[in-house]
């Protein structure tokens, strides 16, 4: 009985870990934001390891997914001007998510944590309809 319990527990623990199928084709909204931006989104292409989103500008790039980590390559972005505080927030956010971060999913939440300890909690928005080129 103990072996069965341990096996089931191990399976459920692994099932909670993020895999490519968990995030691909989904778009998320940052729900707990230290940034001076109204809405920050992060989405993942369905068929390739590309990410995209919007703060003030649209941003996009490639990522590599590990068992408990995700590495975002430096993003490219559009260059629209806006309020200084939003532009500063956008620059800080993009710096904070570039590189390797811890990743986990919990139901409709995506939780990322960078090496500096800053945590980003995203909530699933909807399946991806449109992707940045």
Q: CATH classification of 2-127 is 1.20.1280.260, yes or no?
A: no
pLDDT digits (tens, 9 = 90+) for 46-81: 999 999 999 999 999 999 999 999 999 999 999 999
Three-state secondary structure call for residue 40: coil
Q: Are 128 and 43 in contact (CB under 8 A)?
A: yes
Q: Are 15 and 9 in contact (CB under 8 A)?
A: no
Q: Which residue has better confidence, 13 or 24?
A: 24
Q: Where are the domains of the chain?
A: 2-127
Average pLDDT over residues 122-128: 79
What is the C-alpha radius of gyration for the chain, rounded to an integer number of angstroms? 16
- Give residue-wise pLDDT tens across range 80-115: 999 999 999 999 999 999 999 999 999 899 999 999
**CB-CB contact of 57 with 40 (8 Å):** no
- Beta-ladder partners of 110: 105, 122
């Amino acid at each position: 009985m103990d072996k069965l319990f341990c096996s089931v527990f191990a399976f459920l623990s692994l099932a909670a870990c993020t895999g490519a199928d968990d995030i691909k084709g989904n778009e998320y909204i940052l729900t707990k934001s230290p940034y001076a931006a109204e809405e920050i989104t992060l989405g993942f292409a369905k068929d390739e390891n590309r990410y995209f989103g919007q703060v003030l500008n649209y941003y996009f790039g490639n990522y590599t997914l590990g068992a408990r980590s995700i590495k975002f390559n430096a993003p490219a972005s559009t260059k629209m001007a806006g309020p200084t505080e939003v532009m500063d927030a956008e620059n800080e956010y993009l710096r904070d998510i570039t590189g390797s971060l811890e990743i986990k999913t919990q139901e409709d939440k995506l939780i990322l944590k960078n090496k500096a300890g800053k945590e980003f909690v995203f909530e699933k928005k909807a399946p991806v309809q449109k992707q940045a080129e």
